[in-house]
Amino acid sequence: MSHADRIIRAAFQSDEALREAIRSVISEMGMSTREFSRISSIPQSTLYKILSGHREPNITTLRQIVKTIRDLEGGGERFIAIIAARPVLDKIEETKMRIGDKVFTLREYSATNIEEAIIAAVRAESDGAAAVVCAPIVSPTVEKLLTIPVATIIPRESVKRAIEVAAKKIEV
């Protein structure tokens, strides 16, 4: 469930549930109340009154909170697809990543060969991905097929380490 959906659901439960949901979502997005106030254009004093229980949000304020969270999440259902082999995906610990003022959801698509990577890219776009991140061997083909941005993984450090391992194996 997205952060925005949590806020909406909590609004129908109780005032306390709504306050707690707003508080935890702002925290989970790595923001302070002041920062959320600035981005949402909701006065900081209004947010503090809502969070402390001294004021209930009116429908306009609630809509602005949900809209801001959706914008920060990159549109709610939209996400960045990461296409890679399972060992690479297992090293990714985040499911959300904050870039500037936006929080992006990351969704993994496992592929073990070029064909699977191309199929995963097409599936990711149809699933609603806002962008795709994939390996350089497949990115030129994926860019021709998709209408969304494609970013190429450039593994500098892991390539260096692989060369060192190969060199050590030669010495044996």
* 79-171 under CATH 3.40.50.10660, yes or no: yes
Confidence of residue 22 (pLDDT cuts 50, 70, 90): very high
CA 157 distance to own-chain centroid:
24
Contact yes or no for 68/39 (Cβ under 8 A): yes
Question: In 100-168, where do the E strands start and end?
Answer: 102-110, 129-134, 150-152
> What is the pLDDT, as a whole number, of residue 152?
93
Distance set, CA 143 to CA 14, 53, 135, 149, 153 (Å):
47, 50, 12, 7, 13
Dihedral sign computed on CA atoms, order 65, 70, 71, 72: positive
Q: What pLDDT, in 10s, does the model give residues 54-95? A: 998 899 999 999 989 887 876 545 689 999 999 888 888 778
Instruction: Please check whether the two domains, 3-72 and 79-171, share a CATH topology.
Output: no
* 121-145 average pLDDT score: 91
> pTM for the whole thing?
0.53
The residue ranges of every structural domain in the chain are: 3-72, 79-171
* 3-72 under CATH 1.10.940.10, yes or no: no
> Rounded CA gap, 82 and 141, in Å?
16
Residue 126 has pLDDT above 60, yes or no: yes
The two counts, helices (H) then strands (E), for the chain are 9, 5
> What is the pLDDT, as a whole number, of residue 172?
63
Which residue is associated with the tokens 């698509």?
109
> Rounded CA gap, 56 and 58, in Å?
6
